[in-house]
């Protein structure tokens, strides 16, 4: 393992599209969504621990989740759990870990990755990531991993790359596109030069810090002005001063869409962002009627193509439903059509208006 290789696993989201199983106090990254016996963050941690030194693995999360991370990843040094005082999207998160590592190890190469994605082929993933780490060591670049699309998905962002490779399997990025409509997604798929944006980035920290200086000068100045406090007892106070002044912006918009030294590695390693109940449905085994069941005590009669999640101890009898999401928890039962899952955030807002925060 290379002592200059680091990973920052982002674990501060609330996973509202997986409501009611995912709650603000205990969101999806800390849950076993697919009934595998491990939580999503545990899978992610173990994936990186196979080729990144343990002491170089960092979790960036919300202050309220620090204890949960420590509970689920007890072998991780406590000082490697970085707590954000407020949610400001991914750009401040990346700035935080990058400035911290630059003070500690100026030669650090950093992987930035979500905590709640599923990857089936860990060997291909590891080899792809190591290829990216080798590239950024020799070329001043910001690298993202792109997933070769298998269908015209409207729930993912897309990356378009140049036709000619700059190195074996590595291409310069032309454009980033936010979630397209179905017709545009079909066009992207047929063109052959568009990839799904997996939200996994690789770079040397000194280069991404330079990118912040160029494209986000105000945020750069906030972190740069406190850099002497990183990796000291004053770090927490410094972050508490910085975050209220940070813009709420993603790293994609803040840096990746603006920089001209962005490259992508197309890959296929069985990736899913597990962002919705439909994505969970896609990754679960189905019965002969197309139902995906996460729960040991569910009986299905005359129902087809349903996504069912229920506690193992609870008997759930399902009859006569088609193409539905059924999620049962100790205090909430959700039943909705699968094609309405993008409205779950609206349903959660309706619950908040009518019932307050008790069920969120």
Q: What is the pLDDT along the chain (360 residues), one digit of tens a residue?
A: 899 999 999 998 888 889 999 998 999 999 988 888 899 999 999 999 999 999 999 999 999 999 999 999 999 999 999 999 999 999 999 999 999 999 999 999 999 999 999 998 999 999 999 999 999 999 999 999 998 888 877 778 889 888 898 899 999 998 888 877 787 778 877 777 888 888 999 999 999 999 999 999 999 999 999 999 999 999 999 999 999 999 999 999 999 999 999 999 999 998 888 888 998 998 899 999 999 998 899 999 999 999 999 988 999 999 999 999 999 999 999 999 999 888 888 999 999 999 999 999
Q: Provide the token pair at 320.
A: 């006569």
Rounded Cα distance between 172 and 139, Å, is 12
Residues whose CB falls within 8 Å of the CB of residue 29, separated by 6 or more in sequence, listed in order: 11, 13, 15, 39, 40, 41, 115, 116
At 273, is the secondary structure helix, strand, or coil?
A: coil
Neighbours of 338 (CB within 10 A): 16
How far, rounded to the nearest angstrom, does the alpha carbon of residue 288 sit from its chain's CA centroid?
32
Query: Are the C-beta atoms of 231 and 102 separated by less than 8 Å?
Result: no
Q: What domains can be seen in the chain, in order of their start residue?
A: 5-272 (3.90.550.10), 277-355 (no CATH)
Neighbours of 251 (CB within 10 A): 25
pTM here is 0.91
User: What does DSSP assign to residue 254?
Assistant: I
Quick one: pLDDT at residue 158?
87
Query: Are the C-beta atoms of 149 and 189 separated by less than 8 Å?
Result: yes
User: What does DSSP assign to residue 252?
Assistant: I
Quick one: pLDDT at residue 213?
97
Quick one: pLDDT at residue 3?
94
Residues whose CB falls within 8 Å of the CB of residue 37, separated by 6 or more in sequence, listed in order: none
At 91, is the secondary structure helix, strand, or coil?
A: helix
Residues whose CB falls within 8 Å of the CB of residue 237, separated by 6 or more in sequence, listed in order: 229
Quick one: pLDDT at residue 80?
97
């Amino acid at each position: 393992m290379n002592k200059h290789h680091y990973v920052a696993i982002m674990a501060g989201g609330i996973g509202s599209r997986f409501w009611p199983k995912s709650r603000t106090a205990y969101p999806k990254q800390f849950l076993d969504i697919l009934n595998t016996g491990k939580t999503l963050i545990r899978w992610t941690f173990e994936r990186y621990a196979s080729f990144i030194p343990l002491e170089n693995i960092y979790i960036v999360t919300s202050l309220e989740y620090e204890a949960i991370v420590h509970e689920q990843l007890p072998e991780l040094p406590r000082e490697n759990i970085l707590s954000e005082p407020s949610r400001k999207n991914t750009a401040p998160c990346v700035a935080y870990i990058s400035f911290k590592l630059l003070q500690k190890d100026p030669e650090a190469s950093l992987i930035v990755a979500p905590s709640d994605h599923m990857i089936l082929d860990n060997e291909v993933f590891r080899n792809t990531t190591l290829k990216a780490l080798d590239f950024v060591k020799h070329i001043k670049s910001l690298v993202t991993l792109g997933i070769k699309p298998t269908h015209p998905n409207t729930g993912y962002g897309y990356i378009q790359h140049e036709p000619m490779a700059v190195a074996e399997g590595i291409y310069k990025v032309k454009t980033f596109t936010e979630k397209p409509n179905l017709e545009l997604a079909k066009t992207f798929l047929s063109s052959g030069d568009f990839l799904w944006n997996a939200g996994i980035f690789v770079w040397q920290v000194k280069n991404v810090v330079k990118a912040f200086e160029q494209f986000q000068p105000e945020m750069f100045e906030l972190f740069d002005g406190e850099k002497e406090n990183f990796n000291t007892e004053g770090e927490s106070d410094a972050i508490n001063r910085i975050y209220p002044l940070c813009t709420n912006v993603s790293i994609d918009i803040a840096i990746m869409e603006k920089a001209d030294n962005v490259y992508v590695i197309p890959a296929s390693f069985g990736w899913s962002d597990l962002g919705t109940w439909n994505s969970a449905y896609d990754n679960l085994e189905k019965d002969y009627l197309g139902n995906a069941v996460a729960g040991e005590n569910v009986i299905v009669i005359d129902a087809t193509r349903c996504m069912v999640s229920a506690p193992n101890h609870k008997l759930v009898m399902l009859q006569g439903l088609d193409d539905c999401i059924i999620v049962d928890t100790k205090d909430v039962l959700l039943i909705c059509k699968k094609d309405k899952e993008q409205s779950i955030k609206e349903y959660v807002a309706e619950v908040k208006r009518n019932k307050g925060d008790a069920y969120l």
